[in-house]
Amino acid sequence: MQDYKKLEVWKKAHILTIDTYKSTINFPKDELYGLTSQIRRACISIPSNIAEGCSRDGKAEFGRFLQIALGSANELEYQFLLSNTLKILDSNNYNNLNSKVDEVRRMLISLIRKTKVG
């Protein structure tokens, strides 16, 4: 078991989550239970799954939770793209958030490769 707060990927995902919450606070009220909720759930899933994976025994189980976090990062990337296309998320915020998602995704892929058994 390892301390998730010491992992750089968790730190980056945590910052991404905070930035996402700040960026979605002004989304249209009619999207509160739609896109806003979906974006926030996908985003918070990334550091949450990293944290949960750290409590598991063995690399294989940890790797499984990292895979789930990676799936959430891909989902979030699309949701940001959709928000930008619909003009809900301005281009500056989109570029900033998309860059952070891409960095977290690359870090997750690297860590997943390191957890491969065999």
User: Percentage of the chain surpassing pLDDT 90?
Assistant: 89
Q: What is the pLDDT of residue 38?
A: 97
- pLDDT tens per residue, range 49-76: 999 999 988 899 999 999 999 999 999 9
65 contact partners, CB below 8 Å, separation of at least 6: 49, 50, 52, 53, 56
Kindly tell me if the per-residue pLDDT of 118 is higher than 60: no
- pLDDT tens per residue, range 82-101: 999 999 999 999 999 999 99
CA–CA separation, 47 and 43 (whole Å): 8
| Domains of the chain (ranges, CATH numbers) | 4-115 (1.20.1440.60)
In 3D space, the residue among 104, 83, 90, 88 whose CA is nearest the CA of residue 18 turns out to be 104
When pLDDT is averaged across residues 29-41 and rounded to a whole number, the result is 94
